[in-house]
Amino acid sequence: MDYFVHETAVVDPGAQIGAGTKVWHFAHIMSGARIGKKCVLGQNVMVADGAVIGDGVHIQNNVSVYGGTVIEDHVFLGPSCVLTNVSNPRSEVNRRSLYEKTVIRRGATVCANATIVCGVTLGRYAFVAAGAVVTRDVPDYGFVAGVPARWKGWMSRHGHVLKPGPNGVMVCPESKLRYREEPSGVLRCLDLDEDAPLPAELATGVKNYRQFKKENP
């Protein structure tokens, strides 16, 4: 195999796992699941039949990815966050043919213990705060928090809240990448295409979030 599976994990026949992926303790990858390259699946992760996971995805401990979920490249799912696939589940009513599609787009982050109600789309580099309950779509770079989750502002690709600057340009304090909100209300990076990989010099953090926040009040 060109991927790693811990001896306590279970990978059912028919599951697809990409090169360089690591599947850790007590995980279960079901038949029909598709997982890309260089992913990391932590302890007690379950990936169901019909779930699709891209490359470079990090899924922390105790997360279940159900059928009908599409996770694009470089998504981060925090510990014990919750994904769903039926809005009105009943044990007496079989709705397996009615799973609602949830899409988590490239680079998005779902923090610990957050819940994503099925049928929504999290945009590229969207950021869902810990414990939030997301019931509606979140745009690219959108930052949401609370129960139910509410809009809090824009978050840079490096995970920093963006503040208005001259001529409407917002600058990430860590990467120095520039962003601007278009008239349509969509945020775009001025220096790097949203689907382009980060340059090597920007792919390793040098300070934690609190340090940047203290230096950029």
Tell me the sheet residues that pair with 83: 116
Burial class (CB in 10 A: 0-12, 13-18, 19+), 217: exposed
Q: Give the model confidence (pLDDT) of 45-67 as tens digits.
A: 999 999 999 999 999 999 999 99
Read off the pLDDT band of 1 (50, 70, 90): confident
Burial track 118-156 (b if 16+ CB lie within 10 A, e otherwise):
bbbbbbbbbbbbeebbbeeebbbbbbbbeeebeeebbbb
Q: pLDDT > 70: what percent of the chain?
A: 100
Residue 199 has pLDDT above 90, yes or no: yes
Give the pair of three-digit tokens for residue 20.
């360089």
Backbone angles phi, psi at 100, to 5 degrees: -95, 130
Q: Which domains does the chain have, with CATH numbers?
A: 4-155 (2.160.10.10), 157-217 (no CATH)
Compute CA 193 distance to the chain's CA centroid, rounded to the nearest angstrom. 18
Residue 217 has pLDDT above 80, yes or no: no
Q: How far apart are CA 6 and CA 127, in angstroms?
A: 30
Residue 87 has pLDDT above 80, yes or no: yes
Read off the pLDDT band of 138 (50, 70, 90): very high
Read off the pLDDT band of 213 (50, 70, 90): confident
Q: Give the model confidence (pLDDT) of 16-52 as tens digits.
A: 999 999 999 999 999 999 999 999 999 999 999 999 9
pLDDT of residue 215: 84
**Single pTM value for the model:** 0.95
CB atoms within 10 A of CB 207: 12
Mean pLDDT of 188-210: 92
